[in-house]
Amino acid sequence: MNAQAKILVVDDEEVVRLSYLRILAGNNCKVEAVWTWMQVSQLMQQDPFDVVLLDLRMPGMDGMTVLKAVKQCWPESQVIIITGYPTLESAKQAVTLGAYDYLAKPVGPDQVIDATNNAMLHKKWALHSEARPACMK
């Protein structure tokens, strides 16, 4: 993973946040973890994250609402939904709202790392293609 990659973990369960922090910390990236929309908003306004790992079921604002807000305010950020309550309907809704990926808990360390790496690659390619002159697209 790129040394500049900034990853935000958003989950209301502390054990999950700590697990993802531990998994990603060894991959030369900056990782922070929060559990509320207010914290997400504050951190993203300071310095937007490249990838957001987002739980769907949280107190206060649910994950779909957070996803919609993140993609509206910070469209370059890639969001990966990780949920313990996967449904076809929520997967479709997440993709429609702009999620890069949708994973069902429990997820192993390799899945977290692979999904995050793929999201970073997708972001780099998307930014690279947008930077090209219109005649080259």
* 37: CATH: 3.40.50.2300
The residues pairing with 45 across neighbouring beta strands, listed in sequence order, are none
Domain assignment present for 15: yes
- pLDDT per position as a tens digit, 30-73: 999 999 999 999 999 999 999 999 999 988 889 999 999 999 99
Give the residue carrying structure tokens 């360390």: 109
Domain assignment present for 116: yes
Task: State residue 134's pLDDT score.
Answer: 45
Provide the number of structural domains found in the chain: 1
Task: Find out whether 103 and 80 touch, Cβ atoms under 8 Å.
Answer: yes
Distance CA 75, CA 96 (A): 13
DSSP letters spanning 77-134: SEEEEEESS--HHHHHHHHHTT-SEEEESS--HHHHHHHHHHHHHHHHHHHHHHHS-G
Distance CA 119, CA 137 (A): 21
Task: State residue 2's pLDDT score.
Answer: 46
Distance CA 41, CA 120 (A): 21
Domain assignment present for 108: yes
Q: Which of 22-31, 44-53, 99-108, 116-125 has the lowest mean pLDDT?
A: 22-31
Q: How high is the mean pLDDT of the chain? A: 90
Tell me which residue range forms the domain holding 37.
6-136
3-class DSSP assignment, residue 1? coil
Domain assignment present for 30: yes
